[in-house]
Chain A
């Protein structure tokens, strides 16, 4: 029995993506140099800009390549505040935003300003009225398109439109790390800045980009270089950028088929996992959540113990909360959604990819049932 159901941590890279990366690990020559060896990597970067920009339909100049989505989030929040010289910034988000979004927002408002967090319902959706109320007067508003832990897909276009009305001066950030390549992002769904990560595209998780609508000004986080229009200094990671571009090229035409396959596997997983007594699905129904995404809680066990027990049976999954993992804490995301402590601590996340088979799903279901039974049998009382 062996199955990989942890695509939330990283997708297996396709041969095409690996080949695109490998080509540039063998190349000598900086893309910023003047000589002939510079031309090919410089062209590769510009080609990559085309591929990544096509995710939104924006011009290639919109793309700033970063080392993953976390850096892009940092730039998306701190960049506009720097350019606007905000010393007491107001940032609005929701408690289900990515942990790095909340960390950056707290850091930016540590000494002055405010972080406003909208309330969320039991399915992980922020209340639109709450979002617009908190956005009024904000400098930056972050919308998390797909919630990584419970799989909620927010109606970003609707939220952006409402925020635009309530806070016309705010810079609106769409965090699309979980949705790029799986949900259309035409015109950035109206946002000013779009965070992209490689993972949901089938690319390396350590590659990412921030897409910037024309007219939005940023200060760089990494200073001192002319790379990426001066907004991200330092040498380009050409292999990662080329791999990200290949992943984006493959993802766009494959979106419909990938989503269909991942949802089908998620249905199979959910049905099997929920047949274990005392198990509940956290977040929205399978057809309304991130493709391939299933999170469950099970009475009488902890998520960490279940994940470890499943690993000993050859099945890779995650405890429900990546950010609380190892901290001995219940998931703050699940707590914000109103789950009780037991349910929040017992969450397990299974995430399928387009290559996940029915046999993989069945192995995971069997390992889950056996792990839960074994752990319950060991529990005192």
Chain B
């Protein structure tokens, strides 16, 4: 997935569960189909974010790590 996200959450320097909490709060202000980008550097997001998105009905489009920054793109579900 390329192109600008509809919203970016910068969770750098925070530890799980804070990144997931920030994603949850941000998604409540977004519409279905929009894309959220999460920036984080806690490796736990590799586990926590997909699990939470699965339960909440959102789609993880991509997760990639460059140096210490893990960028996750999430498409907002219904």
Contacts and interface: CB of A to CB of B under 8 A. Distances in A.
B4 to A, nearest CB: 12
Given A85-B68, A226-B25, A219 B13 contact: yes
A224 B21 CA distance: 11
Contact of B13 (A83, A225, A226): A83
Counting chain B residues whose Cβ lies within 8 A of the other chain, the interface size class is: 10 to 19
Nearest to B11: A230
A85 B22 CA distance: 22
A235 to B, nearest CB: 15
B14 interface: yes
A223 B14 contact: yes
Contacts of A79: 13
A217 B12 contact: yes
Interface in A203-253: 217-220, 223-226, 229-231, 233
A62 to B, nearest CB: 12
A217 B15 CA distance: 15
B50 interface: no
B18 A224 contact: yes
A82 interface: yes
B39 A217 contact: yes
Given A82-B13, A83-B12, A219-B12, A226 B68 contact: no
A171 B10 CA distance: 17
Contacts of B13: 79, 82-83, 218-220, 223, 230-231
B39 A230 contact: no
Contacts of B22: 226, 229-230
Contact of A225 (B9, B18, B25, B68): B18
B51 to A, nearest CB: 18
Interface in B1-30: 9-15, 18-19, 21-22, 25
Nearest to B19: A230
B15 A224 contact: yes
A216 to B, nearest CB: 9
B63 to A, nearest CB: 18
11 contacts: A79-B13, A82-B13, A83-B12, A83-B13, A83-B41, A85-B68, A217-B10, A223-B15, A226-B21, A230-B18, A233-B18
Given A83-B41, A85-B68, A218-B12, 18 more contacts: A79-B13, A82-B13, A83-B12, A218-B10, A218-B13, A219-B12, A220-B13, A220-B14, A223-B13, A223-B15, A224-B18, A225-B18, A226-B14, A226-B21, A229-B22, A230-B10, A230-B19, A231-B13
